[in-house]
Homo-oligomer: A and B are copies of this chain.
Amino acid sequence: MAGVHKTNAAERVTTSLRKAILRGELRPGDYVRQEKWAARLRVSRLPIREALKILGSEGLVVHDPNKGYSVAKLDVAEMSQIYLMRRLLEPELIKTLRWPAHRELDQLKELGEAAERALTEQDPVRCMELERTIDYRVYDLSPLNVVVREVKRLWELIDPYRFLVFSDPERFYGPDGGLVARHGRIFEALGARDRDALHAAFTRNYEAMMEYFRHPPFAGS
Contacts and interface: CB of A to CB of B under 8 A. Distances in A.
A84 interface: yes
Contact of A81 (B77, B84, B147): B147
Interface stretch (A4-12, A116-124, A162-170, A193-201): A4-12
Given A88-B88, A92-B88, A81 B50 contact: no
Contact of A146 (B57, B78, B144): B78
A148 to B, nearest CB: 9
16 contacts: A6-B65, A7-B65, A10-B53, A49-B50, A50-B50, A53-B54, A54-B56, A78-B145, A81-B144, A81-B147, A82-B146, A84-B92, A85-B146, A85-B150, A88-B92, A150-B150
A120 to B, nearest CB: 36
Identical subunits present: 2
A137 interface: no
Given A85-B150, A88-B88, A88-B92, A57 B57 contact: yes
Interface string A130-145: 0000000000000111
Contacts of A6: 65
Interface string A29-66: 00000000000000000000110011011110000010
Nearest to A151: B85
A98 interface: no
Contacts of A78: 145-146
Contacts of A20: none
Interface string A61-82: 0000100000000000110011
